[in-house]
Structure formats: C-alpha cells, structure tokens
Amino acid sequence: MSEKIKFTIDGKECFADKGKNIVEAAKANGIYIPTLCHLEGIEAAGSCRICNVKINGKFMTACTTEVADGIIVENNTPEIQELRKIIVETLFVSGNHYCAVCEKSGNCDLQALAYRYKMLVPRFPFEFEKKEVDAYSSKLYLDRNRCILCKRCVRSIKTKDGKSIFAIKGRGYKAMINIDYELANKMTEEEARKAMDTCPVGCIIRKEIGYITPIGQRKYDKKPIGSEIEEPVTK
Amino acid sequence: MSSQIQSIVEKYGNDATRLMDILILITKEKGCVDSNNITEIANQLNISQVDVEQTLSFYHFFSEQPRGKYTIYLNNSLVAYMMGRAEVAEAFEKATGTKFGSVSNDGLFGLYDTSCIGMNDQEPAVIINGVIFPKVTTFRVRELITAFRAGKSAQEVVNSYGGGQNQSLLIKSMVTNNLNRRGPVIFSDYKPGDSLKKMASLNSKEVIEVIKNSNLRGRGGAGFPTGIKWEFCTKSEGDEKYLLCNADEGEPGTFKDRVILTELPHLLFEGMIIAGYAIGAKEGILYLRMEYEYLKDHLEFNLDEFRKKGWLGKNVAGIEGFNYDIRIQFGAGAYICGEESALIESCEGKRGEPRNRPPFPVQVGYLDKPTVVNNVETLCSVVKILLNGAEWYNTMGTIETTGTKLLSISGDIRYPGVFEIEWGMTIREMLEMAGAINPLAVQVGGPSGRLVGENEFDRTICYEDLPTGGAMIVIGEQRNIPDVVKYFTEFFIDESCGSCVPCRYLTVILRNKLQKIIDGKGVISDIDDLVNWGKQMKIANRCGLGQTAANPILSSIENFRPEYEAIIEKGKDFGTTFNLEAAIQESCREVGRFPLA
Amino acid sequence: MAKPIVATTALASCFGCHMSLLDIDDRILELIELVDFNKSPVDDIKKFTQMCDIGIIEGGCANSENVHVLKEFRKNCKILISLGECAIMGGLPAMRNDIPVEECLAEAYLNGPSTKNSNTEKILPNDAELPCILDKVYPCHEIVKIDYFLPGCPPRADLIWNALVALVTGDEMKLPYEVIKFD
C-alpha cells in the first residue's frame, strides 16, 4: 500500500497517494480541476495555465505540482474562476474557432470549458489572425485555426524509436504546431486515431472519416466537462 | 549528404544537445539554415526534422531563408526611438531599397528589427554581420551602405574605436564603455589570481560560508541569496554538476555585463572558477548573448591565458583533483533565455522555454544534473568578497541588501552609462548623479520592473524597497507615457516563448487595447480593463517574463493615470475602433467605385 | 402597462437564428401575449415606427448596409441582443476574414464554379445601390454597444425563450447547461 497524504481543497479534507499531482489527487477526491494541456500518463507541461490553483496561498499549476502533506489548496474561488475564464476567452480570440463547422464540436475540451463557465461571448476582441491549414500528410490534417498549443501531441505522439512527429515552430503568438510529413505518413491508422484523440480541440483531424457521433450523443452535449469526476457513477 | 553540414555536426560530436552551436556555425557559413540543411542535420543527429525546426525557429538570429549578404539588425528598444531611431530606420530603408523584415532584391541587404542589443547608452545602434555600429545617424547610414555596395566588409568600415579594451586587437569595436562611476566592489583595483590563491586555502564549504555571510544576492534581478543557492546545489545528489554564467543580459536598458565582459573578463572567470569549486562543478559554461559575439575572441583569449596559468584545466590553481574548464555557449537572440531554466534548455540545444518548478536547477539542471546559474555581476562580486571578506562586504549597502550594484542608466540624461553604486541610493539621487533632464518617470529594472514617477523618487534602490537588476531608463517630460508603455508591451509580445496562454496572447490583447486608447478611441472602462486583465499576468504565468509582462501597464496606470484619462473619450461608455470608410476601401478599390462612399 | 416592443433583423447570416426563434413552438402564442413586434421580418415591418425596448440582431456586419442597419437598431432600441454566432463572432461568414477582399471577390464573381463560365466579361458588381463589402466580417459588438449575447449556431429555442422572458419579466435569466451551445 502506498502512503496516503492528507490535504484540503477548498476546506474539504482530501486524501491521496504520494507522488500524485494535484489534478489527479483532486480527481481521486471527486473534485474537478480543469485542464487543457494535461494528459494523464505523460509529462506535465503546465502551459495552458487553466489548472492554476492556490497552494498555501501561492498560485501554482496543479498539473505540475505534486501533492504534499497538509497543503491547503484553493480551487473554486472567484479569483481563480475569473482567471480560468480569462484563459478560455483568450484562447477563443487567439484562434479562429468556428464551432459550427468543427468536427470536434461537442467533444472539444476548450468548447466544453466555455460551456462550463457559461461563456456567452469572450470579453476580448476577435483578431481573426491568419493560420495555415496543413493537409500535406496522408492521414492527418492540421487546422491551426483551432490549435491551442497545448503540446499534448508534441509530448505524447512519437515514433517507435522515439522521434517527434509534432513540434512547435516559431515563438510567442506566432508559434504554431508543426508536423513531420515523412514520419506522419508512416503512422498506422491506430496511431493516427490516437493523435486525433490526443488533441483536446479540433486541430488534429483524421482524413476521410468524420462526424461519427451524432449531435446529442457527443461527450459534452448533456453534461459539463468535469461532471464525471464530480458525480461519479454509482453502481 | 553535404560534407559541409556533416562535418559541422560531427565537429559537435553528433550531439543533439549542441544543436545551438551547429545552427550558429551553419548560419555563419551559409547565411541561413535552409530546408535541405534541416534534413541533413536531422538525419545526422538521428532526430526528426520538426525537432531541428523547433529550435531553429525559436531564435531571432536564425533563419530558414537567406537574410542578405549584409544582415542589418537595428535595435528597436524604447531608448533607440528616443535617440532618433525612426529617421535612421527610414534612411536604411531608403539606402538599401528594402523594407524592415525583408531582403533587398539583389540579395545584398537584409533589414531586421531586433530587441535591445545592450547599447542603450549609445543609441541608435545596429549590428551588421556581427559588428556593432553605435550612435548611428542618417549620414552614417548612407556612408555604410555606400561602402557595402563597394564591397567593403562590416569590420572594414569601423571608423573609430571605443575606449579601454574595445580598442584592443581582439575586439576593435566602436562600442564605448561609458563607465561613469567605479565603485568599491566590481570596478575596484585587484590583482588577478589572488582570489584563486585564497580559494585554494579554503575548502568548498568554507567558500560557501564566506559567500553566505556576505549576504550576496543574485544580481540578475530576482535576488536569490547566492551562498544558499550554492549550498542547495552541493546538497543535491550526483557528482556531475555544472556552473552556468548568465551573460544573456536582455532586459531592455541593461548593458552592465557588456562593460564587465569587455574590461574584466578575468574577474568574471575567477568568479566562475570559485563558484565551480564551491559547488564541485565539472564544467563552467558562459552563456553569452549573440549580440555580444564581437567579444568572442577577446573572451577566448582570456580563457586561454587562464589555461596557460593553470587556472583552468587539470588541478586548477594547484588544487589536487579540481579539474574544471569553461566554455562559451552562444545564444541566438531570445530575451527569455535570461531566465535560468530557459537558459539551460537553450544550452541543451532546445527552444528557450522555461521549465516548470520544482525541480529547481540546483536539483535538476543542465543535462538533468544539479546546476547553478549565476549572473555575471554576481560572480564578479564573489571574487572581491572572497578577497576582502564577508564583513567588508556587509559594511556596504543597506541592512537587507549588502554591497554594490551596477546600474545601466540611459534615456533622457546627460551621462548615459554604467554606474557602480552602493545599494540604498534614492531614485532622486540617481537622477542627479546621471544628469537627468526634466525627468517625468524612471523605468526601474527595465520593462519587467516598475515605472515610477516623481511621487516615488525618494524610494531607495534595494531589495527591501525598489529591487532592480540595474536597468534604469529615464523618461523625460517631453515623452508620452502610453507610447512608452506600448513599446515595452510590444517587447514582451516579441520575446514571449509562447508556452503559457496568457503570456502568449493576453499580451497582444493588452497591446491592442492600449493602442485603442492611444488612438483616442478608448473609454474609461478600457483603462479598467487594462488593469483587470493585466493583473492576471502576474498570477497566471510560469516565468518571470510572463509574470511581469503587464508591469509597465499596471505601474504606469497606478502612477500616471491622468495621462491615460486625458486621451480617452469622455462621457462615453462605448468606444470603437471601427471606421466604415477604412473598412470599405479595399472592396471599393477592387470594384472601381469612386468616390468612395 | 404597455407591452414591450421588440425589433429583429438579420445581417450577414443565414436566417437560422430567426428560424430557431420560431422553434419555441406553441410558446410563440405566449410570446405574442408578452411583447409586440416592430421592425422585423416576423411581421414584415420595414421601418422603425417607434422606439423599441428590445432589438435582436442576427448576423455580423459584412457590408456597409449591415453597419447602417445595426446603427439604426442601436438608435431605436433600448436594449440590443446579439443572437447567434454570426452576430457574436462573425460566424461562418467570418471564415473569409483571413482572405483578402480581392481574392474573395474573384472567387465569387470571376473564378468560382458558378461564375467562371458565365461572367465572361469579368464584371465585379458595382452599382450605387449595392452596399460596399467590408474588409472583414465584424462582430456586432465591435461596432455598437451590445447589451446581451445569446450564442449558438443557431441558439437553442429555449435559450431565446428564457432570455426574452427574463428581459420582459425582469427575472434572472435561466441558463441550464443544455441551452448554451456554440453549434
């Protein structure tokens, strides 16, 4: 048995296994901390910043911070909610998100977070910056209008000998996701599907197959993102 | 496989962590790193092409396209503008026949903006093929371009030498030191090598003890106690440790390290040896910004001298078993690499993106080994502390901030340059010292610091009051505060690594909002938006760049709110930048509708 | 107390938001009890005949006429609502926003599949009666002040209903999870 650690989130007493990060530790206690760049099983990036919580009064990203004995975590406070809304809204205006024509609509984590936070309109002006769509590789296309630069694909999709298929190109607001055509063309169908599933938004899309799940049955049609953590299914 | 690329990659041991050096050398030899080169490098290093491209595309001085036989990088810092950059830029465009951001049709000239190159005391300054041309005028621009058209090299048109070592055969640069005030620590006289003798008489623990007792704090700006950092590193497991010296001073307005590297490289290297000894390092790396490449031969020469004297190499300074050398690692134009973990990433051949903490570099640093990163000025202070003792050092400065500080003062002052002061000087005294001309405000600590006005001129420069890495930009009363703030904000936009969402894009949103106000279309709520959105930057981002990117906006609104209120639309609750006439221009022109309705 | 007066319009859009308004089914009868309509495609009143309480805008601004109508609405309505994605963020018409107007016009009138063989004289429409195309499609709130936003493509009928009822009765608007959708 691994050692249990005691801590609190918003005053609620929680327990977790040593070595867990705070997102996972919260989840084990039925508390949802929103994430975009985080993906269980791969190294945390801490880049989307939406999992920011206050730990003993200090802002830290929950995905990059290991749970420790006696820490006091603040998660659902107005200050933190405001920050998270601002991050979601920033992502909506920094890309070009036409949900109506996006294959990931209904299954998109960014959209789902906007729903969860009841975003009716981003508070920021839309910039409509030009983003290149890249359809050169045979199995996948990249719609960079939708990319949020979470680097999930960069970190988790590799060739068998460990080479990167995806990487970031450029820096700052001009940074974009880049794909190695040669390596991408060698991906199996399964690997291509994994790449698409890894993408929290609709940037990495498999060619030839689409819109499989009807509206109404998609991941976030009925229940908010995070509700599966907050109201675990009781059998 | 081109043998040239192959041999360059081989020169660095087919080691992907030396990708920076590989790209720098190819850029030097071929002018750019094109897609064929990328493929060759990737194959030779056995990594994917996108991994080569991710590093290549991160740094300002790398390019996939040729940047002209003469690559002209004109500084675009605020002070450059204050000193007449606009007309110099125009002169460059006219003389070369091309616009900034592009190469002339004949392939001769490439014109590029670049963030502060560490010459704020001699602006406008430009780097052409690695050669620095300070104090450029429109006359000089025409003269330079004419000479280049006649086939002269950049070094051949250097027509004066700055003082001190700048005129040595190994530098031969027009850059001047402008060392306006020598203080009792960094620029006091000393005998090279004495500190190493002293070091040899102490064990590493004792060295750390001296530094701890001196209360020396990091001089880059964050102010972490140096001795404690070293001690943490010694406590980290692993016998392979590294000492990195951060000579990437990129904060607009700072140029103190330039003067140290020019005049006192031996002092710095002694400091790097002492630090290396204290933490038990295997190697020291001087991470030097590409803008200071003109100092390379000079620095290498000094390192060779050290090796000849037995101060580097095997059994350094006669200490049995202390094998230690120093190499220079160049950056390639990225402010963010001044952040210690980004600097480490860059040393490993990667994008300069700051790492998450913990673990801290002292635990997991360069090549995942325990690593100490210290500022140039910090390491120089170490030498003098070891020589003169912690007690001596504690007699200077304030209670919490001991010793001296190098200030890089520029802007609307009579005597721009480097001043070594004891901590505890007030801003008002500093302004008087440097001959400020009708100062309206001072940007303390560069853009990431704080814009202070007259109401804060009696505050003192020290960690307990106004901390700073030393960049002081004096803004005269003829300047316009929102414009100043816009320049600073644009700097942060250009230099963001792009990893954290707020730093990557909220900065752009803030700049656009600021522009709306500057254009006279703002309303009162726009000022409040700047404050409310800007506040998020401090809490949301991972590293110091992101956390401080809204500081110019926040501190200027705090101290100069009337300057903003004076230019907004009064009595309105909605302001728009939409302009119907401008919006229909393009379509009317296309369909031939005139006059434009 | 007089019934609140509602005006509606569709700018650069597909009229789907108005269709969704009709999707409130038999509640339309209740709606008629609650409000009167002024300028609107619903009753085909072309011009404002009085100051209205609520203006509902579908669609963003793609041309000069859209801008004109939007400004008219702002002048004649106490409260303006952006209804649907196009009004809120330009929507599908805004997918042209990163393409130069020149290319858009060429695709529509010169090189597009329906025009390349028929428009042999390569004419770009230019009649004084025609509105001028804007450089991009603008969300309404970037041109005039908008008071409320109801997203969706189209907005769910329940969202529209909840919003109108809340505005008319002064009660707080109900926003259950199912009603806020962007597709």
Is the Cβ pair B47, A164 closer than 8 Å? yes
In whole angstroms, give the CA distance from residue B558 to residue B442: 14
In whole angstroms, give the CA distance from residue B173 to residue B292: 11
pLDDT at B597 over 70: no
Is the Cβ pair A173, B505 closer than 8 Å? yes
Tell me what the pLDDT averaged over chain A comes to. 94
In whole angstroms, give the CA distance from residue B234 to residue B363: 9
Which residue type, as a one-letter code, is found at position A154? V
Element (H, E) at B45: helix B35-45
Interface probe for C, chosen from B577, B584, B593, B596 (most Cβ of C below 10 Å), is B584
In whole angstroms, give the CA distance from residue B105 to residue B99: 11
The pLDDT value recorded for residue B595 is: 60
Which residue type, as a one-letter code, is found at position B121? D
Q: Which of C92, C118, C95, C96 is nearest to C105 (CA)?
A: C96
In whole angstroms, give the CA distance from residue B377 to residue B405: 8
Could you report how far apart the first and last alpha carbons of chain A are, in Å? 25
In DSSP notation, B517-536 reads HHTT---HHHHHHHHHHHHH
Asked whether the beta carbons of C172 and C180 are under 8 A apart, the reply is no
With an 8 Å Cβ cutoff, the interface of chain C facing chain B consists of: 64, 67, 100-102, 105, 124-126, 128, 132-136, 138, 142-145
Cβ neighbourhood burial of B581 (10 Å; 0-12, 13-18, 19+) = exposed
pLDDT at A235 over 70: no
pLDDT at A233 over 80: no
Sign of the alpha-carbon dihedral angle for A205, A207, A209, A215: positive
In whole angstroms, give the CA distance from residue B500 to residue B506: 10
Relative to beta strand B131-133, strand B126-128 is antiparallel
**CA-CA distances (angstroms) from residue A15 to A30, A41, A190, B588?**
11, 20, 37, 67
Q: CATH fold of C5-97+136-179, please?
A: Rossmann fold (3.40.50)
Question: What pLDDT, in 10s, does the model give residues C142-162?
Answer: 999 999 999 999 999 999 999
Is the Cβ pair A163, B496 closer than 8 Å? no
Read off the DSSP letter of residue B343. Answer: H
Relative to beta strand A133-134, strand A176-179 is unpaired
Q: Which two tokens stand for residue B24?
A: 């720098």
Is the Cβ pair C82, A106 closer than 8 Å? no
Q: Which of A39-43, B386-390, C122-126 has the highest mean pLDDT?
A: B386-390
Sign of the alpha-carbon dihedral angle for A203, A37, A32, C89: negative
Place of tokens 């499609």: C137
SS3 B447: coil
Residue-range domains of chain B with CATH: 3-56 (no CATH), 70-159 (3.40.30.10), 181-394 (3.40.50.11540), 404-479 (3.10.20.600), 482-565 (1.20.1440.230)
Cα–Cα–Cα angle for B165, B265, B186, rounded to 5 degrees: 95
Q: Which chain A residues contact residue B501 at CB under 8 A?
A: 47-50, 87, 90-91, 94, 148-149
In whole angstroms, give the CA distance from residue B284 to residue B347: 12
SS3 A192: helix
Place of tokens 């000094």: B302
Could you report how far apart the first and last alpha carbons of chain C are, in Å? 38
Place of tokens 């630069």: A149
Asked whether the beta carbons of B433 and B368 are under 8 A apart, the reply is no
Range with the poorest average pLDDT among B2-6, B299-303, B329-333, B430-434:
B2-6
Q: How many Å separate Cα A30 from the centre of its chain? A: 19
Q: Which of A171, A168, A130 is nearest to A150 (CA)?
A: A168
Q: Is B215 left (phi over 0), alpha (psi -120 to 50) or beta?
A: left
Domain boundaries, chain A: 4-76, 85-206
Q: Which numeric CATH code is attached to A4-76?
A: 3.10.20.740
Asked whether the beta carbons of B98 and B39 are under 8 A apart, the reply is no
pLDDT at B481 over 60: yes
Query: What distance separates the 2 farthest-apart alpha carbons in chain A?
Result: 53
Please tell me the pTM assigned to this model: 0.96
Q: Which chain B residues contact residue C133 at CB under 8 A?
A: 584, 587
Q: Which chain B residues contact residue A177 at CB under 8 A?
A: none
Asked whether the beta carbons of B549 and B507 are under 8 A apart, the reply is yes
Phi, psi of C2 (to 5 degrees): -65, 150
**CA-CA distances (angstroms) from residue B126 to B252, B492, B518, C89?**
15, 20, 28, 43
Q: How many Å separate Cα B30 from the centre of its chain? A: 26
Question: What pLDDT, in 10s, does the model give residues B282-323?
Answer: 999 999 999 999 999 999 999 999 999 999 999 999 999 999
In whole angstroms, give the CA distance from residue A23 to residue A90: 22
User: Closest to B578 (Cβ–Cβ): which among C100, C125, C142?
Assistant: C142
- The answer for B 489-528 residues in CB contact with A (under 8 A) is 493-502, 504-509, 512
Question: What pLDDT, in 10s, does the model give residues B487-531?
Answer: 999 999 999 999 999 999 999 999 999 999 999 999 999 999 999
Is the Cβ pair A102, C183 closer than 8 Å? yes
pLDDT at A49 over 70: yes
Number of Cβ within a 10 Å radius of residue B164? 15
Asked whether the beta carbons of C61 and C93 are under 8 A apart, the reply is no
The pLDDT value recorded for residue A2 is: 62
**CA-CA distances (angstroms) from residue A161 to A60, A197, A233, B224, C102?**
34, 21, 39, 41, 47
Question: What pLDDT, in 10s, does the model give residues C31-77?
Answer: 999 999 999 999 999 999 999 999 999 999 999 999 999 999 999 99
SS3 B438: coil
User: Closest to B584 (Cβ–Cβ): which among C105, C132, C142?
Assistant: C132
User: Closest to A115 (Cβ–Cβ): which among C82, C92, C177?
Assistant: C177
The pLDDT value recorded for residue B221 is: 83
Question: What pLDDT, in 10s, does the model give residues C69-119?
Answer: 999 999 999 999 999 999 999 999 999 999 999 999 999 999 999 998 999
Tell me what the pLDDT averaged over chain B comes to. 96
User: Closest to A98 (Cβ–Cβ): which among C92, C139, C175?
Assistant: C92
Q: Which two tokens stand for residue B126?
A: 């430009």
Asked whether the beta carbons of C141 and A93 are under 8 A apart, the reply is no
Cα–Cα–Cα angle for A87, A88, A91, rounded to 5 degrees: 85
Relative to beta strand B417-422, strand B179-181 is parallel
Upper half-sphere CA count for residue B49 (Cβ side, 13 Å): 16
In whole angstroms, give the CA distance from residue B223 to residue B227: 12
- The answer for B 347-386 residues in CB contact with A (under 8 A) is 351, 356
SS3 C94: helix
Number of Cβ within a 10 Å radius of residue A204? 26
pLDDT at B596 over 80: no
pLDDT at B417 over 70: yes
pLDDT at B126 over 90: yes
Q: Which two tokens stand for residue B139?
A: 């006359």
Q: Which of B330, B262, B255, B332 is nearest to B302 (CA)?
A: B262
Q: Which chain A residues contact residue B539 at CB under 8 A?
A: 52, 59, 83
HEC secondary structure over B261-303 = HHHCHHHHHHHHHHHHHHHCCCEEEEEECHHHHHHHHHHHHHH
pLDDT at B460 over 60: yes
User: Closest to B580 (Cβ–Cβ): which among C67, C125, C126?
Assistant: C67
Question: What pLDDT, in 10s, does the model give residues B343-382?
Answer: 999 999 999 999 999 999 999 999 999 999 999 999 999 9
In whole angstroms, give the CA distance from residue C159 to residue B597: 39
Which residue type, as a one-letter code, is found at position B46? N
What lies within 8 Å, CB to CB, of B423 at 6+ separation is: B396, B397, B398, B401, B402, B403, B404, B405, B460, B461, B462, B463
Is the Cβ pair C98, A130 closer than 8 Å? yes
Q: What is the ipTM of this complex?
A: 0.96
In whole angstroms, give the CA distance from residue C17 to residue C24: 12
Q: Which of B242, B249, B237, B276 is nearest to B348 (CA)?
A: B242
